[in-house]
Amino acid sequence: MGVLETRRYQAIVLRHLDRPAESAAMAASAQNLAMADGIVLPVITARLTRTAATAAGAAGSIATAETGLAQSAVAFSEVLPQTRPLAETELLQAAALAGQGQTRRALALCATAAKLLQALHSGTDPSLLAPCLAAYAAEAARQPENAQRLLAAMFETAELAQDSLTTRQIAEAAARLAANASNPKVAAAIRRRQNAGQTLADLERQRDDLVRGALPGTVPPPAKPLTQAELDRRIAEAEVELGDADAALHAAAPNYGQLVQEAVPAADVLAALRPNEAFVAITLTGDSGWVFAMRNGSIAAAPLRAGTREVGALVRRVRASIEPTEAGVPRFDTGAAFGLYQAVLAPVAPQLAGVKALVVAPSGPLLSLPFAVLLTGSAEPDRLAEAPWLIRDMTIAHVPSAANFVALRRIVDTSHAQRPWFGFGDFHPVTLAQAERSFPSAACADSARLFAGLPPLPFARRELEAARALLGAAPSDELLGAAFTVPAVENAHLKDYRVLHFATHALLPAELRCQSEPAIVTSAPPGALDASGALLTTSDVMGLDLDADAVILSACNSGGPGGADGGDSLSGLARAFFFAGARALLVTHWSISDQSSAFLVADTLRRFAAGSDGGLGGALRAAQLGMLDAAGRSLPAALAHPFYWAPFALIGEGQVRLPTRTAAGSQRAM
């Protein structure tokens, strides 16, 4: 193994040591556990062996590490054959084998581990998958005749990448759904899964504290309520319970997959694509990554030279040049927008030549930016109307994952809703007294003031009136002003409507720090003492029953902020609406201009109602290009800045279309 490969392997195992620096103490304690019974002793042995092996790998003894990891995998396979610890042990072993140049043996383990994680509906840290992805790519280059099969396996492995933020989002979504589920069986299944995961985490934390306290130079924990043998026994039992709870959850709530990260075969993605359409998935694995382009029945994969940190820095630069300050809208950073394209899409540019529609599954910081603002070439900040925006080349839709794309594509044009549109907006701000009752502590005073100080949106009613007229809805198909409250939304028969349209504010935890969930702002119910009925949270959304082709969230930041957790709200509100039954969403990525957004939404819906090519995604693109092309001509030149024309991104199924109008001009049976 070369020096570079050794260092890469060391970096992987150092990030994934089960119990850093404890292997010697654990090995010494093994003698004391020899009398353990049942399946616990093999589990303990497997853990001890894996810890020692990963420590050896971190020290550079890759051969020793591979041998130990193989022994650990065998032990896990005998006593816990369908668990995540086994899969991750196999991934570590695959990394060691790949580092020794034993690519085929490594790939066999990669495939086994991936299959197990898929069966568990579980992801893992992207850096654990990185050696497998590199091995698949290298083998595909060596075997051109088998390249597509290998690239398909590589793509399906990459789908399992799940960072800590996504893991947290899944846990939070599960907790919210458990508290809000109308079906008692679903609620019980989610609570069981949540409790099993928490129990396992607590036990492993106790075991960490116990072992660290026994190491030289450390301070023992103040209390030792359980012995190490008892903790290991309980951990083994908790892992089995977690696997059972996962299976029960997916049986009780099949649509739960819209909230979490699942994997689908590459063949399903290819089969779902239309002519001149491409699917691009981007996986960031720490300091590098991979981009996959799927089109016309074939898969291409290219390495990325930039990882999460570098890509995140470019995203932050682009966002900082879009979001207005007290001085106004800043100068757009064309260099960062072009650099981002070069970093994540240019490696597969040949495969995208001639593509008319792009579906992209971003990851990490890329979730917080609409790809429409990427530049395919250099541009002058003072001549943005003429800049080579990616949106000029193709329609763009975003999806959280390939599984979301396949699932939503399968149900496109299947809505049974008979009415075309329902609108919500013209909220009435809550009073400061109401806000302070909802956020009573001194630490939440800023949140109360911010919430009560949200300005009215005078163009929201105009936006909704234009949308209602364009889509042929009835005057009664609205909740406006004082009537627009959370209880009213929850009690409306929204399953009857194909398009739901919110024109209001959205608030994120990053902005309203005492509000734990992203929320859509409504009016407070009449006579309400507090503001609790004026926030439609993700919990509330997951309780809705929808059959909508599209949900329009013309609300500031519904797609998420540009910080470290940039995609958090996107994975909150958007996934919640998918779970509730929506097929596509229009979300906003930054605080929008009330007037320009009303114009953009109205123009999008005008084109959508007229049957624009490319469905809702095509209508949005045409409206955006229309604003760009008119900037400096019939519209002010300043509107060429992305702040005005690019806040909206389409998430989900971009090809949704309205039913053909009848001769009388109605879309619905009345």
Distance between CA atoms of residues 606 and 626, nearest Å: 12
The phi and psi torsions of 544 (rounded to 5 degrees) equal: -75, 155
CA dist 366 → 99, 118, 299, 458, 506 (Å): 30, 24, 22, 32, 21
The mean-pLDDT minimum among 47-56, 230-239, 513-522, 577-586 falls in 47-56
**pLDDT exceeds 50 at position 218:** no
Q: What is the model's pTM?
A: 0.80
Q: Which amino acid is at 142?
A: R
Supply the pLDDT for residue 516: 73
Spatial contact of 47 and 25, defined as CB atoms under 8 Å apart:
no
Instruction: Report the CATH fold assignment for 266-404.
Output: Nucleotidyltransferase; domain 5 (3.30.420)
pLDDT in the model for residue 144: 96
* Confidence band, pLDDT 50/70/90 cuts, at residue 119: confident
Angle, CA of 604, 574 and 619, to the nearest 5°: 15
CA separation for the pair 262, 256 (Å, rounded): 10
CATH class of 417-593+646-652: alpha beta
CA 535/CA 490 separation, integer angstroms: 12
Question: Who has greater pLDDT, 441 or 565?
Answer: 441
* Pair 311, 366: CB distance under 8 Å: yes
Least confident segment among 207-216, 357-366, 495-504: 207-216
Q: Range with the lowest mean pLDDT among 15-29, 269-283, 389-403?
A: 15-29
User: Which element (helix H / strand E) includes 269?
Assistant: helix 266-272
Q: Tell me: the pLDDT tens digits for 481-525?
A: 999 999 999 999 999 999 999 999 887 776 677 777 788 999 999
Per the CB < 8 A criterion, the answer to whether 315 and 363 are in contact is no
The tokens for 483 are 């009537």
Tokens of 201: 């985490």
Contact 29, 76 (CB under 8 A): no
Question: What's the confidence (pLDDT) of residue 443?
Answer: 81
Instruction: Give residues with Cβ within 8 angstroms of 216, minimum separation 6.
Output: none
Q: How far apart are CA 656 and CA 209, in angstroms?
A: 53
Residue 259 structure tokens: 């909230």
Edge-first strand order for the sheet with 519-521 is: 506-507, 519-521, 535-537
Amino acid at 386: E
Task: Report the range of poorest mean pLDDT among 119-128, 261-270, 597-606.
Answer: 119-128
What would the two tokens of residue 184 be? Answer: 């008692």
Cα–Cα distance measured from residue 560 to residue 555, given in angstroms and rounded to the nearest whole number: 11
> Per mean pLDDT, which of 195-199, 205-209, 380-384, 663-667 is the most reliable?
380-384
Residue 26 has pLDDT above 50, yes or no: no
Rounded CA separation 372/620 (Å)? 11
664: its two tokens? 């009388």
Per-residue model confidence as pLDDT tens digits over 459-472: 888 889 999 999 99
Identify the pLDDT of residue 535: 92
Q: Give the mean model confidence (pLDDT) for residues 366-390.
A: 95
pLDDT classification of 638: cutoffs 50, 70, 90: very high
pLDDT digits (tens, 9 = 90+) for 399-434: 988 988 998 998 888 899 999 999 999 999 999 999
According to the model, what pLDDT value does residue 667 have?
43
User: Is residue 628 scored above 50 in pLDDT?
Assistant: yes
In this predicted structure, what is the pLDDT of residue 145?
A: 97
Between 69-83, 95-109, 212-226, 533-547, the lowest mean confidence (pLDDT) is in 212-226
Which of residues 539 and 220 earns the better pLDDT score? Answer: 539
| pLDDT band for position 35 (cuts 50, 70, 90) | very low
Looking at residue 663, what is its pLDDT? 33
Greater confidence, 581 or 71? Answer: 581
Q: Which residue has the higher pLDDT, 216 or 461?
A: 461
Tokens of 215: 């190491």
Q: Which pLDDT value is given to residue 232?
A: 82
Output the six-digit token pair for 531: 């503001």
Kind and range of the H or E run holding 152: helix 147-158
Cβ atoms within 10 Å of 15's Cβ, excluding its own = 13
**What are the beta bridge partners of residue 551?**
500, 585
Beta strands per DSSP E along 19-66: none
How many helices and strands (H and E) does the chain possess?
A: 26, 14
User: Helix 84-99 and helix 40-58: axis angle, to 10°?
Assistant: 30
Half-sphere exposure for 368 (CA within 13 Å, toward CB):
28
pLDDT band at 176 (very low <50, low <70, confident <90, very high): low
User: At residue 600, does pLDDT exceed 70?
Assistant: yes
**Structural tokens at position 560:** 């998420």
What is the model's pLDDT at position 81? Answer: 60
Give tens-digit pLDDT for 258-298: 666 678 999 999 999 999 999 999 999 888 999 999 999 99
Length of the chain: 670
In this model, does residue 665 exceed pLDDT 80?
A: no
Q: In degrees rounded to 5, what are phi and psi of residue 499?
A: -125, 125
What's the whole-number average pLDDT of the chain?
81
Average pLDDT over residues 190-197: 77
Sign of the CA dihedral running 597, 396, 323, 571? positive
pLDDT (tens digit, 9 = 90+) per residue, 68-91? 777 666 666 665 566 777 888 889
The C-alpha R_g of the chain, in whole angstroms, comes to: 26
Residues 139-175: tens digit of each pLDDT: 999 999 999 999 999 999 999 997 655 555 555 665 6
Token couple for 325: 């300050």
Please say if the pLDDT value at position 446 is more than 90. Answer: no
- Better-predicted residue by pLDDT, 490 or 63: 490
pLDDT of 15 > 50? The answer is no
Q: How many whole angstroms separate alpha carbon 263 and alpha carbon 536?
A: 30
What are the sequence ranges of the domains in the chain? 3-122, 166-258, 266-404, 417-593+646-652
Task: Look at residues 572, 648, 642 and name the one whose alpha carbon lies nearest to residue 608.
Answer: 648
Q: How far apart are CA 291 and CA 268, in angstroms?
A: 18
Q: Is the pLDDT of residue 211 over 80?
A: no
Q: Give yes or no for a contact between 277 and 122, defined as CB atoms under 8 angstroms apart.
A: no
Q: Give the tokens for residue 670.
A: 């009345």
Left if phi > 0, otherwise alpha if psi is -120 to 50, otherwise beta: which for 177? Answer: alpha
Give the C-alpha separation, 278 to 290, whole Å. Answer: 16
Tokens representing residue 25 in the block: 């103490």
DSSP designation for 327: T
294 three-state secondary structure: strand
Q: What is the pLDDT of residues 286-337, one digit of tens each?
A: 889 999 999 999 999 999 999 999 999 999 999 999 988 888 899 999 999 9
